[in-house]
Amino acid sequence: MAVGINAMPVTFAAHVVALIAAIMVLVWSISFRGGLAWEAENKNLIFNLHPVLMLIGFIILGGEAIISYKSLPLEKPVKKIIHLILHAISLSLGIWGICAAFKNHNESGIPNLYSLHSWIGIGVISLYAFQWLYSFILFFYPGGSPNLRSGLLPWHALLGLFVYVLAVGNAALGFLEKLTFLESGKLDKYGTEAFLVNFTAIVTILFGALVVLTVSAKSPSTPSPVDDDDETSYSYSAI
Ligand code: HEM
């Protein structure tokens, strides 16, 4: 089912919003929170890697991986490789981002995995890894039978979109949680930083919405005469 809008302009809007979100999280972490570091005396700098890697690496690159499959005017085998590589990079940066949060907690004597955000976070990254792994085996190498692939493709698209929406929601929860910690200290509730963090969360949600809209929009016609997966009639649009 495709909604009556072309994927291409939605995709461009998504790229612009992604760029804005990336700039916002970098300005927050570097200018307001003191910068980024993997090794540092100031453990907050280690934490700062977490939102940057989760937003730019996991959410934005993951979103680009999803929309690349729908919007790039390339042949299906090429799109498939771009899709799986972008998802692999996004998963790796997401895992690194979570490691940064754990490292910050461990080196600061803060307990791990006590919040709803962290529980959903572990669920999201595990589902994402599971989705990537079975899809690689099924759709890329060694590959399932054509029947199996076309039967499981709707589940792949549905689970992928579900996990992605959950990730975007959890990122918003992360911004809320960090801002609440800061505001329970000295941070001005109506100050510049508070607005920056809240608006970064809003822009993240807007990006997520544009990714979902791209997936449900009409695909540009692709020069793909070969249907190696019996997926041509499907191509991500039948969500
Ligand atoms: C989908 C993206 C994200 C995922 C999967 C995720 C996952 C996680 C996980 C698993 C932890 C637990 C670390 C530990 O217990 O040592 C954590 C901690 C934390 N995250 Fe995120 N995170 C994401 C995005 C964000 C963002 C964008 C922020 C914004 C600042 C954020 C803020 C926090 C905070 C404040 C903590 C420490 C407190 C806590 O454990 O809940 N997260 N995150």
Alpha-carbon distance of 135 to 129, in angstroms, equals 10
pLDDT in tens, 51-75: 999 999 999 999 999 999 888 889 9
What is the CATH code for 7-216?
Answer: 1.20.120.1770
CB 79 within 8 A of CB 66: no
pLDDT at 1: 66
pLDDT at 208: 98
The closest residue, in CA terms, to atom 4 on ligand 1 is: 121
| Entry pTM | 0.93
Delimit the domains of the chain by residue range.
7-216
The closest residue, in CA terms, to atom 29 on ligand 1 is: 175
Assess whether the C-beta atom of 178 lies below 6 angstroms from ligand 1: yes
pLDDT at 233: 35
Q: Is the pLDDT of residue 222 over 80?
A: no
Ligand 1 centre distance from Cα of residue 29 (Å) = 14
Q: Is the pLDDT of residue 224 over 80?
A: no
Angle in degrees, 0-180, between the axes of helices 61-71 and 146-183, rounded to the nearest 10: 150
pLDDT in tens, 9-33: 999 999 999 999 999 999 999 999 9
pLDDT at 221: 61
Assess whether the C-beta atom of 148 lies below 6 angstroms from ligand 1: no
pLDDT at 220: 73
pLDDT in tens, 183-215: 999 999 999 999 999 999 999 999 999 999 999
